[in-house]
A and B are shown apart, each in its own frame.
Chain A
Amino acid sequence: MRSNNQKLSGADIFFECLRREKVEYIFGYPGGAVLKLYERLYDVDFLKHILVRHEQGATHMAEGYAKATGKVGVVLVTSGPGATNTVTGIADAYMDSVPIVVFTGQVPSHLIGNDAFQEADIVGITRPITKHNFLVRDIKELASIIRKAFYIASTGRPGPVLVDLPKDVVNSVCEFSYPEKVEIRGYKPTLYGHQNQIKKAADIIKKAKKPLLYVGGGVIMSGGERELRLFAKENKFPVTMTLQGLGAYPMNEDLSLGMLGMHGTYWANQAVNNCDVLVSLGARFDDRVTGKIEAFALNAYKIHVDIDPTCIDKNVVVDLPIVGDVKHVLAELAAEINEPPKIDEWWKQIQRWREECPLKYEKNDGKLRSEFVIEKLSEKTKGEAVIVTDVGQHQMWVAQYYKFTNPRSHLTSGGLGTMGFSVPAAIGAAFAIKDRPVISISGDGGFQMNMQELATAVYNKLPIKFIIINNSFLGMVRQWQELFHAEKYSFTDLSASNPNFVKLGEAFGMKSFSTNNPFDVDDILDEAFAVNDGPILIEFKVVKEDMVFPIIPSGQTIKEMMTKRLDPKEMV
């Protein structure tokens, strides 16, 4: 380790800072403006650089790594196109509060603003999609900016931070001094909730007859799953989770009602609709969860725990806000509630809803369906795998049918809904997760958005199972076209243009499988899970026209929930 006050080049300072931040992996792509950094990287042995095939892939890998571990994901790319290619991944990380730090090269300071070769104002471009960003204007600031970048990305409500590094700054020399402590006077996240508010919340919860815990990704990010499990179990509270919250509470246990919202279970949505106390934990009342805002949990007393004050009262006005780290608040709440409220009647009601409208799909016509594949996966992996999904129908089916038992196991692009997320994010996760299978599930559309990264997976011998749920359609868009857009299937049919996925997988050097027969699924999965020296690819050719049910149409209420495809006869 380099000592303080030594004279170092910008590149040396850069890597020394990364060493002190305990960075294990950098996902990157070299180019003109970062050549000096790559020159030094050649001899760096304390971290591993992963060469990606496209910079968007790098940001999603960093996200996958960060979501799976809770550590900060790191990206290094060049200026101009290298930087702009990271934008989608950064926006994705911003929406889902993923801690990543993106280092972009920049043209030399004196050329900034001159339309120099490979120049882009990336700090300007990413201002609205980063938690914060920096342009390093002087090498004296470099070490402290990197320290701040990691601190800001990983504390409070996590998020992406971008650091723009002009070429001349990296090339110059300066005395190295790494700040021991970070002091940012405008940034002090509130960790502990207000005592009176917590007491008040506990009093309300104690008296609840129909309580419900509404759990978001914040619980997982704060590492509060243990507190949640204790809190829910001791009091027998029903738990419903958002897309990002899945796995915070084991979904194979009775207290879990599964996911709520647009494609949530009937009983979870009924519970939200009828509860008298709604405790929101690290969730943000997203429109995909609430549907019609005015009707959401209409009669409930709403308690909202969140570390980000802007989330409170943004969409739904709540009765009792608690700003703080949900892990700490949960622990304190649990301590305040010494006697579990009597809610047996409530549970009976929930049970009736469960029986009234269970999740179901056609099993007896001999055709392959994605729900079946996902149920099989859930059984085979006992709900313990890390599942990285893309965006669309398969994503919702995973949320409904895969019974996640652990936090940080369901990695998906929720807020931004980025197609092409799954393949690179699974690669990022696979670098960190060695003890459980990492499974990437994509549709045939999204898979083709970042499939270049298969090369990265093959080169690094990552034992990822790349699963393609191929219905030859942009299925979710098709579903909306059928339901809400006069059945005009405008540009959603991919059947004439899809590649041969097996040959594609083989071209990348992967063992590849394909089937459209439900009776083959078991054998193929067994064979796939036996491969551990590299990635494999499985294409499941499923029924084309299946739709995700239940669905609450956008901006509506549970009254408008559709649970099955309307029979033409019924429509008359």
Chain B
Amino acid sequence: MKHTISVLVENQFGTFNRVVTMFSGKGFNVHSLSIGETEVPDISRMTIVTSGDDKIIEQVVKQLNRLIDTLKVVDLTGQPKIERELALITVYYQKGTRTEIVNVANIFRGKVVDINNKSITLEITGPPDKIDAAVNVLEPYGIKEMARSGTVALKRGEQIKHDKKDILVNHIKEGTK
């Protein structure tokens, strides 16, 4: 099962490397990994999407915690959260398909960010499964190049104050579980 783990780390020389070598050294999977500054300049947030059974995920979280440069590790899986990924996708077009591609972009609430006489570049943001869907639809047109940012995620704000029962209610409302 896929897990999204959010890690606050020291914004320091070598921290990224420590996390990555831990993952490869322990044989854990990494599906995507993104890192960037937070509201506090000396702290960065890493969002790691990994997979494994419960025992492995428990070890992933513990091993992350064990690194001296990690400040906080939260497994966001199963929690109310906002997950986003950004993709830039360059697609070939022929006569007649250009509007279709732009339509696809619109359906996915994407934007056209570049165009030349052969290809068109779209920017699409959303949860990773939405990107997957867009890629799936665009594939037949011929994808020239693609860059995906990896998932970034945050816990949903209001729910944090609620107790467990409320979170469950929200889950049901949102249909996430």
Contact = CB atoms under 8 A, between A and B. Distances in A.
Interface of A: 123-124, 127-128, 131-132, 135, 137, 152, 184-187, 308-310, 312-314, 317
Contacts of B63: 310
Given A152-B68, A187-B68, 17 more contacts: A123-B14, A127-B18, A128-B22, A135-B13, A185-B71, A186-B9, A186-B67, A186-B69, A186-B70, A309-B62, A309-B66, A310-B66, A312-B62, A313-B55, A313-B58, A313-B59, A314-B59
Interface of B: 9-10, 13-14, 17-18, 21-22, 25, 55, 58-59, 62-63, 65-71
A294 to B, nearest CB: 13
A285 to B, nearest CB: 13
Contact of B21 (A128, A135, A152, A187): A128
Contacts of A312: 62
A127 B17 contact: yes
A13 B173 CA distance: 62
Nearest to A137: B13
B55 A184 contact: no
A315 to B, nearest CB: 10
A309 B66 CA distance: 8
Contacts of A186: 9-10, 67-71
A185 B69 CA distance: 8
Contacts, number: 40
A317 B9 CA distance: 29
Dominant SS at the A interface? loop
B144 to A, nearest CB: 35
Top 8 A-B pairs, shortest CB-CB distance: A310-B62, A132-B68, A128-B25, A187-B68, A186-B71, A309-B62, A127-B21, A310-B66
5 contacts: A128-B25, A135-B14, A185-B71, A186-B70, A308-B66
Nearest to A127: B21
Contact of B17 (A124, A137, A184): A124
A40 B35 CA distance: 43
Contacts of B17: 124, 127
Contacts of A132: 68
Nearest to B66: A310
Contacts of A135: 13-14
A344 B69 CA distance: 50
A310 B71 contact: no
B141 to A, nearest CB: 43
A322 B98 CA distance: 63
B38 to A, nearest CB: 14
Nearest to B24: A128
Contacts of A128: 21-22, 25
A186 B44 CA distance: 13
Contacts of B25: 128
A186 B11 CA distance: 12
Contacts of B13: 135, 137
Nearest to A317: B55
B68 A310 contact: no
Contacts of B21: 127-128
Nearest to B55: A313
A317 B70 CA distance: 25
B62 to A, nearest CB: 4
A137 B17 CA distance: 17
Contacts of A137: 13
Contacts of A187: 68
A514 to B, nearest CB: 45
